[in-house]
Structure 1
Amino acid sequence: MDAGDDVDFQELEDKNGQGMVYEAKTEIQMNWPRRQLLLDGRLGSSPPKCTSKCGNCTPCKLAVVSVPPGPPRMMDYYPVIWKCNCGDKYYDP
């Protein structure tokens, strides 16, 4: 934590009175600009343009696509990426 951080510690007894619970309240100043919310509320950079990315297929529309999970230990992690969509085909932007 930086010197500008404001930290307030309080020591509280738990309900049984047999131990101590520590509660910390932290306020951290953000000195960098917040990322802009895009489209449906996702954070990140500007979405790509799909102009002439689908060959002769029209309409070529921007889509957010889930990537299948990798190793079995990551079954609850589904990253999303931008793709261009036309009909039932997807193209790289």
Structure 2
Amino acid sequence: MFAIYKSTLLLLPLILILLITPQVSSFLQPIQPPISPQVALIEDKARLGSTPPSCHNRCNNCHPCMAIQVPTLPTRSRFTRVNPFSGGFVRPPSSLTTVLDQYSNYKPMGWKCHCNGHFYNP
């Protein structure tokens, strides 16, 4: 009987310490001041790149519908308008297009929703 009482006395403080420790540690954590809307806006603007769009209800009931980045096709026109009122177009000199194509390593990326091998507009 004394052995049971002694083991209970040893386990009781251990159990109490284990129960109290998480509660005490939560009080010891530093409290973060709330972030003002101006600071949040500055942090959002400073982040590089774009955020993925929501693809919720965009894939015609296909699941999982996930946002992925895909390369976009360049939309640069090889023709320039001579006169906005005449409607005529002229091709720029070939040397200019060669220079533009030679140093064009910019690959723009865009967002699409993807599900089971199909792409959907977000």
Structure 1 length normalisation: TM-score?
0.48
More helix by share: 2
More strand by share: 1
Structure 2 length normalisation: TM-score?
0.38
